[in-house]
């Protein structure tokens, strides 16, 4: 089991070092495209419990699986034609548009919905903080569960690694 964990970290590092750059030239924010979204805290990937509406999103061992691939779409300013710091995030390849968004309950766990939620990205220590516009900037973070997979919630950022995410280009 320890070997699998070490191998996963090694694959993550190789992917990060040899992956083509998918960042905009001027602002170092990701462009529209397909990505694995990896927790800088746990090195696990965002993955829904199931690829259907209403499913919670957890962190799972990063294995480059199909349900760990996300399509992010960066919005473009209609007047200047320049990219904005505004994104939607949905499961890659899903024609039914299954979007990442906060659950409306007070703990704001992450879930899959047909409603597109806007996110902005803040840069911190080489990673990104995903801020939810609908929650006035509350950010996605890891939330260790007593049992089962690591949960992801939205809340005020305290700048720790539990709020930091890496975007690894996915095919």
- The tens-digit pLDDT sequence of the chain (171 residues) is 454 444 343 333 333 333 333 544 457 899 999 999 999 999 999 999 988 899 999 999 999 999 999 999 999 999 999 999 999 999 998 667 899 999 988 778 999 999 999 999 999 989 999 999 999 999 999 998 888 899 999 999 998 999 999 999 998
The whole-model pTM stands at 0.82
Q: What is the pLDDT of residue 97?
A: 84
Q: Hey, what are 124's tokens?
A: 């911190």
The structural domains of the chain, ordered by start, are: 2-169 (2.80.10.50)
Q: What is the pLDDT of residue 21?
A: 39
Rounded CA gap, 118 and 102, in Å? 11
What is the phi/psi pair of residue 60, to 5°? -130, 160
C-alpha to C-alpha distances, 171 to 17, 69, 100, 168, nearest whole angstrom = 16, 9, 19, 10
Q: What is the pLDDT of residue 96?
A: 72
Q: What is the pLDDT of residue 11?
A: 37
């Amino acid at each position: 089991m320890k070997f699998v964990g070490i191998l996963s970290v090694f694959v993550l590092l190789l992917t990060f070092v040899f992956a083509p750059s998918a960042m905009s030239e001027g602002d170092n924010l990701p462009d529209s495209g397909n990505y694995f979204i990896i927790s800088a805290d746990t090195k696990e990937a965002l993955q829904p419990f199931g690829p259907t509406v209403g499913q919670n999103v957890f962190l799972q061992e990063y294995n480059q699986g199909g349900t760990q691939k996300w399509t992010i779409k960066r919005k473009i300013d209609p007047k200047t034609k320049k990219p904005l710091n505004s994104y939607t995030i949905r499961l890659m390849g899903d024609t039914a548009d299954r979007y990442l968004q906060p659950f409306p309950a007070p703990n704001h766990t992450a879930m899959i919905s047909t409603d597109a939620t806007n996110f902005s990205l803040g840069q911190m220590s080489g990673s990104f903080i995903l801020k939810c516009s609908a929650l006035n900037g509350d950010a996605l973070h890891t939330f260790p569960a007593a049992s089962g997979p690591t949960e992801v919630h939205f809340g005020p950022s305290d700048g720790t690694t539990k709020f930091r995410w890496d975007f690894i280009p996915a095919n």
